[in-house]
Amino acid sequence: MKPSQLYAKTMPFVWAKLLLGLATVLISALLFAILMGIGMLINSGAGGAFFILLLIWISATGFINFLLNHYLGYLVKAGHVAVIAEAVVTGRIPDNQVSYGKQMVKARFATANVYFMIDKLVSGAVKQLQNTLEKVGNALGFIPGMSTIVSIGKLFISIALGYIDECCLGYTFYKKDQGAFKSAADGVVIYAQNWKRLLKDAAKTTAVVIILMIAITGAGFLLFSLVLSMFPIDSIAGLVAFLLAFFLALSVKSAFIDSYMMVKMMASYMEVAPATQITFDLYGKLCGLSSKFKKLFGKAQEEPQPQPTYQQGYQTQAPQQQPYGYPNQAPQQPQYQQQPQYQQQPPQQAYHPPQPQYQQPQVIFCRACGAQNTPDTKFCTACGTPVA
């Protein structure tokens, strides 16, 4: 399914985002009219009173914007991400997609607080990685004209990397067999391994985002300037018009532009994510670059450990069997040679004669978590620590 088709078929989420944004602008405008009316009734000549009421209006607008767009809007975005991830993988849109997205968010994150924590950790990690790239550009600031190039590069990076958190959250819905924190951490690593491909796709639409944002802000500014010109508050009319226009532009951008960018980036991401072999040494590098990613990785370590990747070939095992990656539950060496447990159970079609790696008599235990690894393993299959 093409990104444009996926975007068109998930429009209910786009309209929900737009309604939240327009509700913010409408409530803010009504609140401004009420406060200015109170100011004129108290003392129409007191400029200080208008200034105080203006500060109250700005603070109240910020709170309303946070409540509607950052809380309810985040949940709407999470549902949209869940539906997109399902559609990209399966090629179909779930029936009653809004209800499906809501159920998936509850099932994956249990509570909204867990989702907010993961989203903030991923966003914070991306921001810190972005700051690292900016430091590299600032180091070249002594070159004539480099400051302009660096500024353009920062703008591009901020827009292009702004959709990584959605991609990583989409990966958590795809990897349902492991914890949400672990899937989010893996998602960041997968993005880092495929940064060339993904940033190349982001570059194609970044310019469109900038042009549309400028056009929407300008149109909104003219509209609110005409409306506010009818009030006797010329000294602050321009500021209020700009703020309302800015909120309107953000609402349209969040609903239409951001949603389309998110669909395109997630489509590109989900094409490469399932086939990406995660490089465990990237965990250490990213932990060194970002304290937020280190915290995210730490949360992942606290979750129940998933089965090692080599167990994926034995998915027909009975559910009560334990993965071989845990040292206190690992089968002993004779079990690899004689396989008595397989003889006691009903025949399994997926089992074949022992693979060469299981015929090796030696094993290596991870110094960090104690997990059992084969002698040729470089990084622990359970925690990613280098194996000596």
Q: Which two tokens stand for residue 72?
A: 């309810």
Please tell me the total number of residues recorded for the chain in this structure. 388
**How far out from the chain centre does Cα 384 lie?**
23
Distance, in Å, from the CA atom of 356 to the CA atom of 351, rounded to the nearest integer, reads: 14
Q: Is the separation of the CB atoms in 359 and 338 below 8 Å?
A: no
> Hey, CA dihedral for 283, 288, 292, 298, is it positive or negative?
positive
Query: Tokens 């990897």 appear where?
Result: 175
Please give the span between the terminal C-alpha atoms of the chain, in angstroms, as a whole number. 45
- Which residues are CB-contacts of 116 (< 8 A; sequence separation ≥ 6)? 74
Which residue intervals of the chain are DSSP H helices? Answer: 3-9, 11-43, 47-65, 73-90, 97-109, 112-138, 146-160, 164-174, 180-193, 195-228, 234-252, 258-272, 281-289, 291-302, 333-338, 340-344
Radius of gyration of the chain measured on its C-alpha atoms: 27
| CA-wise closest residue to 26 among 65, 54, 55 | 65
| Residue-level pLDDT at 220 | 72
> Which of these, 149, 266, 150, lies nearest to 205 by C-alpha position?
266
Burial class (CB in 10 A: 0-12, 13-18, 19+), 318: exposed
Phi, psi of 34 (to 5 degrees): -65, -45
User: For residue 342, what pLDDT is reported?
Assistant: 43
Supply 370's token pair: 């104690």
Distance of CA 46 to the CA centre of its chain: 48
- DSSP type of residue 379: B
In whole angstroms, give the CA distance from residue 372 to residue 311.
Answer: 13
Question: What are the residue ranges of helices labelled H in 253-317?
Answer: 258-272, 281-289, 291-302
Q: What is the pLDDT of residue 177?
A: 84
Selection from 227, 205, 113 nearest residue 159 by Cα: 205
Spell out the per-residue pLDDT of the chain, length 388, in tens.
788 889 999 999 999 999 998 898 889 888 888 887 787 777 655 556 777 887 888 888 888 888 887 788 888 988 999 999 989 888 889 888 989 998 898 888 877 778 888 888 888 887 787 777 667 666 666 666 667 776 776 667 676 677 888 898 899 999 888 888 999 999 999 988 888 888 777 777 677 777 877 887 777 777 777 766 665 555 566 667 777 777 777 788 888 888 888 898 888 898 889 888 887 788 888 898 889 999 999 998 887 654 544 333 333 333 343 333 333 444 444 444 444 444 444 555 554 555 544 444 466 777 767 667 777 777 777 777 776 6
Residues contacting residue 239 through CB under 8 Å, at least 6 positions apart: 54
pTM for the whole structure: 0.67
Question: Residue 25: which of 248, 205, 192 has the closest Cα?
Answer: 248
Report residue 89 as tokens. 């993988």
The upper half-sphere exposure of residue 330, i.e. CA atoms within 13 Å in the direction of its Cβ, equals: 18
> In the prediction, which pLDDT does 341 show?
45
Query: Which residue in 17, 8, 110 sits closest to 70, CA to CA?
Result: 17
